[in-house]
Structure 1
Amino acid sequence: MINKTIAKEYIDTLGQFPDYQISIYDNHAKEICSTSNTKKYFSNIELENFLYSQESVSECKKGTLNCVLVRIYEDNITSCFISIAGVDNNLLPIATALKMSLEIRLKYDQIQSEEKETLTINEQLIKELVSDSIQVSKIFELCEQSNHSMEIERKMIMLIPDDLSSIDVLANMNLYYDSKEDIVGRLGQQLIVLKDMTRATGSEKDYIKVYLDFLIKNTSFRGKALVAYTSKTYDKVKFAYQSLTWLKKYASTHNPSALTLFFNDYIDIYCIAAIPFDILQNLFSSYTFDKETAKEFIVTTDALIRNNYNIVRSSKELFVHKNTLMYRLTKIKNEFDIDPVNSKSDRSFIKIYNYYLKQRIEGKGGTTDERN
């Protein structure tokens, strides 16, 4: 519906019509805005007669000027009308152009308002889905209001913008890709996307990468994207959110270079984090702890883990000669009697010990689950 803000913005854009006086009236025949605050070419009676008539256009002569009244519709209902006065003998084409442009503007405003309302419903739905105490009836109601199905398999993606001040803008942008079953809403300082996975063919990870590339190319989003497992039923969404909340905390502490983090790549660390620190401390009590040696172990094994124990890539990342890296690796092999390059079980040891050393250096401990 027309309002003073929209009317003024519209009038301000009409600089290309300096030879005409243009006014906008509401659906009660009251002037909202005009290009001139002095001369009025239509009486209140004339305006009201036009409003209550069945005419969509009215033309008349006012002294030396030609005048046109044209009705503006929204959903086949009169929203407002425009008057235009000028010396041209045929003002109807100009009046028609003004009518079309204002109706388009009002339609756009209506769509934006509906999208914002839908987004608000989506936010309520997402908050309900990630709640510890799910209210099934409430979820059904919100799904119905937002025209979403509860039966869709969805993958949760947490978008964390680099610039948190942009989150309001992003929350109102169209982040949909190939399905109206995508559910998007703001939750705290991040955006949550519950991506419909029924259209995914082949690798789910590749499908999500294509979607995220689409977002980067078509929206202002810049930041990290955290991706959970697919939730096959609505009651599993909260577990996806819990895992991504942990991954967000982990990423803020360890600063991984990748912009897209898949939770399944960190599942082992997530499980290790559930082990109370005193158990880890007892497990590794026979090994001598030296802070500098521990730091070298962490840096070296972090690079090896990230590069799947590829010596060349790891040495490049560490900016050391591969022989230097081999020397460090040999020290680790001799100290712990392991061979992580060739043994998967030894790689598990490396990850657990790496995690333990980080916790010890950071002064953490106790029996608290580090995932919380």
Structure 2
Amino acid sequence: MKLKPELAQSIVDQMMKKIPYNINMMDQNGYIIASGDKSRLNTLHVGALDAIKQRKTLTMSNDHGSHGLPGVNMPLFFEKKIIGVVGITGDPEKVLPLASLLEVATELLLNQSQVDKFKKEQHERLNRFIYRWVQVDDNLESHTDLILEANQLKINVNLARYVVVIHSIDKPLPVLYQDADDYSLSLSANTSLILTHQASSLERLKKLVVPGKIFVGISQPTNLIGQGTKQAFKTIELARTFSNPNYIHYTDIAFIDKLIAGQLPLSRLTTKFSELDKTESGDELIQTIIAYIQHNGNIVQTSKYLHIHRNTLNYRLTKINDFFTLNPHNIKDLFQLYLGYIYFTYEQNDFGPIENS
């Protein structure tokens, strides 16, 4: 470890809040790199040199001007090596009782700083690894460098995991709790990704859903994390597209996803839906189609849901038949209407990349 001026000055500032004497910190060559007296920075301290050479705490009774004032100088050890010296300026008889306290406190602060630095480096390394990992959607065996790093990080990349994406529309996400075996990656202030294989984590994360505000997408379990990531993002995309907060698991939207990816020849239907969408009465017919499909073609349940009389519903269904030349009472025609609605809605609602929105 090398004692850096920024860290040394921080320690000096903290210690001088408790000790009514000037404190200096010198590097391994005896030069002052931190001090309560800024005029002494970057000057050689002869007392520090003696303490380094003798590897022990020394008192200094004589005044050496800019090269040292009376006081006590204590070598700082890290892993049995001297990395610098800490000194208290003042009458040696008065400041000597504080020497041991200052030495121990300083070394504790240095050790804690090193621990914090190590933790930060490990966290950054893990984040870099996860960022690479979530992009792997092919055979893991072809990514030998990734597997090697996973072994060093003690991560089992062959374990099937769920990819969970949490996305907030207008507010930054709160700090997310995660279990010990989970891994997380913050993609933006509004979007986070969690890898887990635990059902308890899934249940906890699903409770974060706030209709229209916070969306949660959960992939199928897989060790191809890149594929799982795409599934989780697609789940949120379609939940927003169809304004359906119940779309949480990829299995909820897998059928729709495959339909859209299939690029079926439905331009005539999507054009017709677009025409309807331009008027209030047309939008009413669209909502009728959706409700009728959601209630499995049941006239009574659909009428109750729409708060209209069944005769009104039948009148609307007739208008739908006339407009699309597809009979909602016919299951084959109704399925075509459903497909047309899916493609129309998907084309109308392009939210762009979720992590940037």
Give me the TM-score of the superposition, normalised by structure 1. Answer: 0.65
Q: Give the structure 1 partner of residue 61 of structure 2.
A: 62
- Aligned counterparts of 2:72 and 2:349: Cα–Cα separation in 1: 81
- Cα distance in structure 1, aligned partners of 2:75 and 2:265: 80
Which of 189, 203, 208 matches 2:202? 208
Q: Which of 210, 219, 222 lines up with 1:228 in the alignment?
A: 219
Structure 1 residue 102 and structure 2 residue 104: aligned? no
Equivalence for 1:82: 86
The Cα offsets for residues 269-291 of structure 1, whole Å up to 9 and x where unpaired, read as 21221343424747x99999634
- Among 226, 229, 232, which residue is 1:238 paired with? 226
- Contact 2:31–2:44 (8 Å) recurs in 1: no
Q: Percent sequence identity over matched residues?
A: 11
Segments of 5+ residues of structure 2 without an aligned counterpart are 63-68, 322-326, 351-357
Distance 1:43 1:286 in 2: 85
Partners of 1:187 and 1:20 in 2: how far apart? 48
For 2:249, the equivalent position in structure 1 comes to: 262
| Equivalent position SS for 2:97 | coil
Aligned partners of 1:96 and 1:104: how far apart in 2? Answer: 12
CA contact (8 A) 1:158 1:193 kept: yes
| Residue deviations 1:300-328 (CA, integer Å, cap 9, x gap) | 566788899999x999xxxx986338677
The 3 A distance-change label for structure 1 pair 72 and 253 is: farther
1:115 to 2:127 alignment: no
Task: Work out the CA distance in 1 between the residues paired with 2:47 and 2:274.
Answer: 96
Moved more, 18-27 or 61-70: 61-70
Counterparts in 2 of 1:225 and 1:107: CA distance versus 1, 3 Å: same
2: CA distance between counterparts of 1:304 and 1:4?
A: 72
How far did residue 135 of structure 1 move? 2.7
- For 1:43 and 1:30, locate their aligned partners in 2 and report how far apart those are by CA, in whole Å: 4
Q: Deviations over 1:196-224 (max 9, x none)?
A: x1xx3xxx4x541325669xxxxxxx954
Structure 2 residue aligned with 1:290: 276
| Change in 2 beyond 3 A, CA 1:125/1:255 | same
Alpha-carbon separation, structure 2, partners of 1:15 and 1:153:
54
Q: Call closer, same or farther: CA 1:141–1:272 in 2, change over 3 Å.
A: same
Q: Distance in 2 between matches of 1:325 and 1:70?
A: 90
In structure 2, relative to structure 1, the CA distance for the partners of 1:257 and 1:59 (3 Å cut) is: farther
Aligned to 2:308: 324
Q: RMSD across aligned C-alpha pairs, in angstroms? A: 4.9
The Cα of 1:296 is off from its aligned counterpart by 2.3
Deviation at 1:155?
0.9
Which whole-Å CA distance do the structure 2 matches of 1:229 and 1:88 have between them?
A: 66
- What are the residue-to-residue correspondences of 1:336-355 with 2, within 5 Å? 336-338=327-329, 351-355=338-342
Aligned amino acid, residue 263 of structure 2: P
2:235 is aligned to 247
Matched, 1:136 2:143: yes
| Deviation for aligned residue 1:106 | 2.9
Q: Which residue of 2 aligns with 1:178?
A: 180
The alpha-carbon deviation at position 13 of structure 1 amounts to 3.5
Q: Give the number of the structure whose alpha-carbon radius of gyration is greater.
A: 2
Counterpart residue identity of residue 8, structure 2:
A
Letter in 1 for 2:24: S
- In the alignment, the residues of structure 2 paired with residue 176 and residue 321 of structure 1 have an alpha-carbon distance, to the nearest angstrom, of 40
Tell me the CA shift for residue 60 of structure 1.
1.7
Distance 1:359 1:144, change over 3 A: closer
Contact 1:298 1:358 in 2 (8 A): no
Superposed CA deviations along residues 68-97 of structure 1, whole A, max 9, x for unmatched, are 415142x55544442233444510224422
Preserved contact between residue 241 and residue 346 of structure 2 (Cα < 8 Å): no
Task: Tell me the amino acid that sits aligned with residue 83 of structure 1.
Answer: G
| AA aligned opposite 1:265 | D
- SS of corresponding position for 2:307: helix
One-letter amino acid matched to 2:307: N
Q: Deviation string for 1:306-357 (max 9, x for gaps)?
A: 899999x999xxxx98633867755566654449xxx9x9996774343144
Match of 2:76 in 1: 71
Aligned partner of 1:146 in structure 2 is: 153
Contact 1:122 1:146 in 2 (8 A): no
Paired with 2:47 and 2:255, the residues of 1 have a C-alpha distance of: 78
Residues 60 and 66 in structure 1, CA contact (< 8 A), matched pair in contact too: yes
Q: Deviations over 1:147-185 (max 9, x none)?
A: 211221111123445579x79xx9xx8974221xx3444
**2:219 counterpart SS class:** strand
The question of whether the paired residues in 2 share the 8 Å contact of 1:121 and 1:146 is answered with no
Matched, 1:271 2:258: yes
Any idea what SS the aligned residue of 1:230 has? coil
Tell me if structure 1 keeps the 8 A contact 2:134–2:229: no
TM-score (norm 2): 0.67
Does structure 2 conserve the Cα–Cα contact (< 8 Å) formed by 1:123 and 1:187?
Answer: no
